[in-house]
Structure 1
Amino acid sequence: MRYLMFLLCCLSLGVAYADINLYGPGGPHTALKEAAAKFTEKTGIRVNVNFGPQATWFEKAKNDADILFGASDQSALAIATDFGGSFNVNKIKPLYLREAIILTQKGNPLKIKSLKDLANKQVRIVVPEGSGKSNTSGTGVWEDMIGRTQDIKTIQKFRNNIVAFVPNSGSAKKLFVEDKADAWITWSDWAKSNPNLGTAVAIEKDLVIYRTLNVVAKENSPKEVYDFINFLSTKESKSIFAKYGWRE
């Protein structure tokens, strides 16, 4: 009702609001686009969710980005920093989190049951890894998890099974679809957003890690930008994000 009254007031005053432009990596975009559509339905304010590797949207975003979103705090910090002082890294706001998973080929033909299996079996693993060049949420994830075994031989065996270090999840997905990898270290939202891509396998509770979806508004943004950010934490938005594996 509050949003409807806001919209009617704007129409009666002849106020036209510019689009809200979001930029960030692939993955969170599925839930964000659905939430954006619902916000537009309620307010009449159009929200554009631009996603993909940073290099594909960075120049455009420098001109019209209202909100940056990230798929982990470390990557969001790196992305926002690239914009200089336009986005205050101290105002990055975590909204939801999700867990890392193993995505296997359909039906899990190698019967992978755990992260340790990826070290102890003959498995081709693909991992997103920024390597100091790409701001991806996958940076360091495999090491953070398998390192918790506190066993250097297990870590060595796991690393020996990695057949590709790729700059982002899109690159990992491409190799996985081409059957050049048996297992992809990824996030639960990728499996939820692509249910026919493969079979998700949970990682051991003592090894699995979680990372966040977060947002940050451009400094001195108009009120409607913050209205959208606040909308992302409403009950309605929470139900949308839950469908894609995100939780508080």
Structure 2
Amino acid sequence: MKKTALFTTLIGMFLNAEVYVYGPGGPAPVLKELASMYEQKTGEKIIVTAGPANVWMDEAKAKADIIYSGNSAMMDTFISKFDGKISAEKIEVLNIREAGIIVRPNNPKKIKNFKDLLKKDVKIMIVNGAGQVGLYEDMALKHGKRENLVALRKHIKVFAQNSKLAVESWNNDPSIDALIIWKHWANTIGSEKAEFVKSGKGSVIYRASEIVIANDSPNAKQAQDFINFIKSDEAQKVWVEKGWIPAK
């Protein structure tokens, strides 16, 4: 009887394994909500730890079942930093997000697109880190117009190391007129403090979140089941609600 009880307990622990997920703050609101939905549907516990990589990297090296990123370059960096824990051929591409401009409520500077940042008297903040290294340069030079970057440079006054710090600066410094960042951060800041303006067809940049199961994960099947769920039609509704573009 004791052996049977022990076996049953072990099987129960296996079926209800905790899956540990680590990654940056950008996709976190989506993944955390989907993790909660998934747990309610299946009973499987998905624990999402998010933020700047230096905060969770050491723990993730020991515990991660899943690693996700804010763009491909970030995932490439993770591959090198995790020393064989994740493999490029196992990476799956999730949803993509649009870069644009966050402005103050009611858009007092009347910014309608990226070109307005080049000619208006605006104080601009950019994110020079995480998944946005060079994002503003890509937007300015998308069509090979050097003069766009020259003009933009004159207005960039604040350089945030990551999106979280950019949001904090936005909330604490009302003198900042515009923030070049991903669309979904406008949802995070809230309509009482931010509006999103599209950069325009000639300047829009997209990046994809990516995800991968750790090579040494003891819960690879459960991890894959969760990834399948976050790519499902049901999950796409959450991605869209949070400001991402649905995967087709």
Common fold by TM > 0.5:
yes
Query: Any idea what the Cα deviations from partners look like across 1:132-157, whole Å, max 9, x if unmatched?
Result: xxxx1111111111112433222111
Q: Is the 8 A contact 2:104 2:194 kept in 1?
A: yes
Pair 1:176-2:170 in alignment: yes
Structure 2 counterpart of 1:127 = 126
Q: Is the 8 A contact 2:167 2:189 kept in 1?
A: no
Counting matched residue pairs gives 234
Structure 2 counterpart of 1:164 = 158
Separation (CA, whole Å) in 1 of partners of 2:11 and 2:55:
38
Separation (CA, whole Å) in 1 of partners of 2:125 and 2:60:
30
Structure 2 counterpart of 1:99 = 98
Separation (CA, whole Å) in 2 of partners of 1:149 and 1:119:
15
Deviation (angstroms), 1:188: 1.3
Deviation (angstroms), 1:11: 8.7
Q: Which has the larger radius of gyration?
A: 2
AA aligned to 2:234 is E
Structure 2 counterpart of 1:70 = 69
CA gap of 1:19–1:128, structure 2 versus 1, over 3 A, is same
CA gap of 1:225–1:201, structure 2 versus 1, over 3 A, is same
Q: Is the 8 A contact 1:192 1:243 kept in 2?
A: no
TM-score between the two structures when normalised by the length of structure 2: 0.89
Separation (CA, whole Å) in 2 of partners of 1:12 and 1:78:
37
SS of the residue 1:184 aligns to: strand
Which runs of 5 or more structure 2 residues have no equivalent in the other structure?
Answer: 1-7
CA gap of 1:50–1:129, structure 2 versus 1, over 3 A, is same
Separation (CA, whole Å) in 1 of partners of 2:161 and 2:111:
25
Larger displacement relative to structure 2 (225-234 or 148-157): 148-157
Separation (CA, whole Å) in 1 of partners of 2:221 and 2:9:
17
Deviation (angstroms), 1:184: 0.6
Structure 1 counterpart of 2:4 = none
CA gap of 1:98–1:11, structure 2 versus 1, over 3 A, is farther
Instruction: Please report the RMSD computed on the Cα atoms of aligned residues, expressed in angstroms.
Output: 1.8
Structure 2 counterpart of 1:189 = 184
Which runs of 5 or more structure 1 residues have no equivalent in the other structure?
Answer: 1-9, 131-135
1:235 alignment partner, one of 233, 236, 245 = 233
Separation (CA, whole Å) in 2 of partners of 1:215 and 1:209:
20
Structure 1 counterpart of 2:20 = 21
TM-score between the two structures when normalised by the length of structure 1: 0.89
Q: Is the 8 A contact 1:23 1:50 kept in 2?
A: yes
